[in-house]
Structure 1
Amino acid sequence: MSEGTIQPDRPQVRTGDTPDLFSKFDPVIAMREGLLASGVEDPFSLVMEKVLSPTRAICNGRETILLGTYNYMGMTFDPDVVEAGKQALADFGSGTTGSRVLNGTYQGHRDVEDALREFYDMDHAMVFSTGYQANLGIISTIAGKGDYIVLDIDSHASIWDGCKLGDAEIVPFKHNDIEAMEKRLRRIPEGAGKLVILEGVYSMLGDIAPLAEMVAVAKKYGAMVLVDEAHSMGFIGDNGRGVVEQAGVMDDVDFIIGTFSKSVGTVGGFCVSNHPKFEILRLVCRPYVFTASLPPSVVATASTSIRKLMQGSNKRAHLWENSKTLHQGLKDLGFQLGTDTAQSAIVAVIMPDLERGAGMWEALINEGLYVNLARPPATPANMTLLRCSLCAEHSEEEVHTILGMFERAGKAVGII
């Protein structure tokens, strides 16, 4: 179940008491208190005191290998990217202090949208202040009251929130189940607007969607298709355009959503499309119109990074080798993984429960390795998992060092 599908229980209010608006968070409070009472370090409050490179940082006073940052292509310290940001900061100042439809469009905003159009070979590109806002804005604007959204049950929270904001009828289907998706589409009233939302790579388990088959079914029923490629841009596909490119459905997808906070190495979100009426969204999309635009330094780093990713074939090849090595190595050690084979730069290690997952996380941080601890309700099927996000800048030696850390920590905690 996606984090976007979870609705907290209503607070229990005693007669005569003032309603406590925080009561709905009591289960989360109890979970956190129970976790900390067991003596483990808080896995959700880690501070990076100094970042040394895309793969190393100082955490808790010691040098730590980073395996949970989504910095897939390692662009955060690229010299050209950093220099572009410095120059834009000097030339244009620290911020725009306005929205894109008022004073918030600088030359850099046009440049980064040009870079996106070039990268994806599409007619239109629209940049948002975050990837969350890109989903929130595009989905809520194009699918509204009386329309139907058919989406994977494991969709990201930003997708679910975009559906809710737009007030469309929401029709979820079982994760990656083509037959279930078709059944939902078949039941939608004739003549209703239909939008199918999929993700190229699902961020919790790192598995990919069967996009070729799913897009074909969507088009059979006259639905528009939106694919979130946040976790595959720059890495998957011959040109790094994502699973849509790998599956050969670039021309059949209506909208591609992405983010700058993963492979691009900065912050921001975007949508690219070939729809002839796309540009009108700049005037009717509320999360675009009513928020400040990205700072000039950010869009300068993004456009430089995107153009460098166009020539990133060697980095993509090395990242694939890292992913395959880590996946197979963890499997050989006896860990339960989220996928049978390496499908993306994400390798999910399934834990027996939250307590032992937190213990494993702490054992790894003490080894000098940072990974993400993911827990329900954010994870599918109430799983607790350690999510590893590989980087193209991880060396082959580092990946083998990581495997040694997992082996020692896994044995110490009793996971393997």
Structure 2
Amino acid sequence: MTEAISQPDRPAPLPGEGEATGDPRDLFSKFDPLIKQRSDLLDSGLEDPFNLVMEQVLSPVTAVCNGRETILLGTYNYMGMTFDPDVIAAGKQALSDFGSGTTGSRVLNGTYVGHKGCEAALREFYGMDHAMVFSTGYQANLGIISTIAGKGDYIVLDIDSHASIWDGCAMGNAEVVPFKHNDIDAMEKRLRRIPEGAGKLVVLEGVYSMLGDIAPLREMVAVAKKHGAMVLVDEAHSMGFIGPNGRGVAEDQGVLDEVDFVIGTFSKSVGTVGGFCVSNHPKFEIMRLVCRPYVFTASLPPSVVSTAATSIRKLMDAGNKRQHLWDNSRRLHAGLKKLGFQLGTDEPQSAIIAVIMPDLERGAGMWEALLKEGLYVNLARPPATPANMTLLRCSLCAEHSEEQVGQILTMFETAGKKTGII
């Protein structure tokens, strides 16, 4: 029998000492305002815009929702690769050959030939020396940012950065210095104030996911390099269709070779799930041993990396699809503007078109009216949105036909008039 560990002598407790003095704080109480807001919304008779169930997916751009065939305009399936026959066949073959999962981390038993093949496809796609695949795009930002910028270093980032970027900053020990969205002068002022000799990382996004606007990367990268900073660009919403080869805004603005790290995801243009980082830094491979979200996470299933690799290689030769997606974006943006909707950008800058709503209640009403017309969009609300805006976020796909874009405009007009938005 194991002997109990002895404890040092302690004085007897005073009467009442150690007893509860009142009800413990409910750890969920911090969410009470949000709980009330959601309850009020549902009590008004509206459907829950954050709990939609797709009962059947018919194509990259159509699904059955609430028993009705619905056009999808909020899925980030920019290049429509989710139903590509070659992509599906590759996934089926890998599932049959290697089973349903790896049951291990990449640094142990979780690296299969498919993971290496996927990283090879990424290196070829970006023309870079190193590629590292993560289980999600969120983990890619979390892992890379928290690992490369540590105590004594500084991270200078756009105030509108994605939650995964902010969480990567929070996980590390670096000093975090935000600047006003897309403001080159504000970014440079922050860089000037950083102590000489400190490590500096500037984090930017090619396309910002809420309004669909792009960053002035050419100017920002030049400023960062002038001040001795490394640059990380998240191209999650631009990979696949922006740039001559679909490599993103950095390629489109001619600064890809000057960017130290490109972060991306498979859950948008690639059409599956996962994340990655590509880099030319000569010491990059050490990240496989020091990046905790990579080391301590089970690797992606073989079927997923096989579909991703196949999709990435097909995106290298997808110029016609890119052009069609741009045509769709320009047509929808111009049509919505003509109808009188307030949009997040003056001109289309990406496949995301944000329609600004007066407030959450009327935004939710417009979202439901569109769903009843047979159209699904994203309802985005504060605090996720900039400037406390409520948005209907439209994400176009290269598989949307010209006829469907016309239908979408008609649906917006009908719903907008029903709800009094226009």
Shorter-normalised TM-score: what interval?
over 0.9
Quote the residue 2:9 is aligned against.
none
SS of aligned partner of 1:226? strand
Counterpart in the other structure of 1:56: 62
Amino acid at match of 1:242: G
What secondary structure, in the 3-state scheme, does the structure 2 residue paired with 1:172 have? strand
User: What corresponds to 1:239 in structure 2?
Assistant: 245
Aligned AA (1:329): G
Residue identity in the other structure for 1:327: H
Moved more, 23-32 or 76-85: 23-32
CA shift at 1:116, angstroms?
Answer: 0.1
Name 1:300's counterpart in structure 2: 306
SS at match of 1:266: coil
Q: Select which of 405, 412, 415 maps to 1:406.
A: 412
- Once the two structures are superposed, residues 43-86 of structure 1 have per-residue CA deviations (whole angstroms, 9 ceiling, x without a partner) of 00100000000000000001000000000000000000000000
Deviation at 1:248, TM superposition (A): 0.4
2:276 alignment counterpart: 270
Alpha-carbon shift at residue 34 of structure 1 (Å): 1.1
- Counterparts of 1:1-400 in structure 2, within 5 Å, are 16-400=22-406
Give the secondary structure class of the aligned counterpart of 2:312.
helix
Secondary structure at 1:365's aligned position in 2? Answer: helix
Q: Report the CA distance between 1:16 and its aligned residue.
A: 1.6
* Structure exhibiting the larger radius of gyration computed from Cα positions: 2
Deviations 1:180-202 (CA, angstroms, capped at 9, x unpaired) = 00000000000000000000000
| Superimposed CA distance per residue, residues 282-323 of structure 1 (whole angstroms, 9 cap, x where no aligned partner) | 000000000000000000000000000000000000000000
Structure 2 unaligned regions, length at least 5:
1-19
Post-superposition CA distance 1:231-252 (Å, at most 9, x none) = 0000100000000000100111
CA offset digits 1:307-347 (Å, max 9, x no partner): 00000000000000000000000000000000000000000
CA–CA distance in structure 1, aligned partners of residues 375 and 205 of structure 2: 28
The residue type paired with residue 55 of structure 2 is E
- 1:228 maps to a residue whose letter is D
Q: Secondary structure at the match of 1:91?
A: helix
Distance 1:15 1:133 in 2: 42
Aligned equivalents of 1:220, 1:17: Cα separation in 2: 57
Q: In structure 2, what residue type is equivalent to 1:114?
A: A
1:67 maps to amino acid = L
Q: Deviations over 1:93-150 (max 9, x none)?
A: 0000000000000000000000000000000000000000000000000001110000
Counterpart AA for 1:164? A
CA positional deviation for 1:27? 1.2
Taking structure 2 as the reference length, the TM-score comes to 0.95
Q: How many positions carry a matched residue from both structures?
A: 403
Q: 2:11 — aligned with what?
A: none
Cα distance, 1:365 vs structure 2: 0.2
What is the distance in 2 between the residues matched to 1:201 and 1:273? 19
Deviation (angstroms), 1:38: 1.4
Aligned-residue Cα RMSD (Å) equals: 0.8
User: SS of the counterpart of 1:258?
Assistant: strand
Distance 1:124 1:223 in 2: 20
SS of the residue corresponding to residue 417 of structure 2 reads helix
Q: Which amino acid aligns with 2:316?
A: M
CA deviation after TM superposition for structure 1 residue 17, in Å: 1.9
Partner of 1:6 in structure 2? none
Q: Which runs of 4+ in 1 moved over 2 A?
A: none
Q: CA deviation at 1:15?
A: 6.8
For structure 1, the 5+ residue unaligned runs are: 1-13
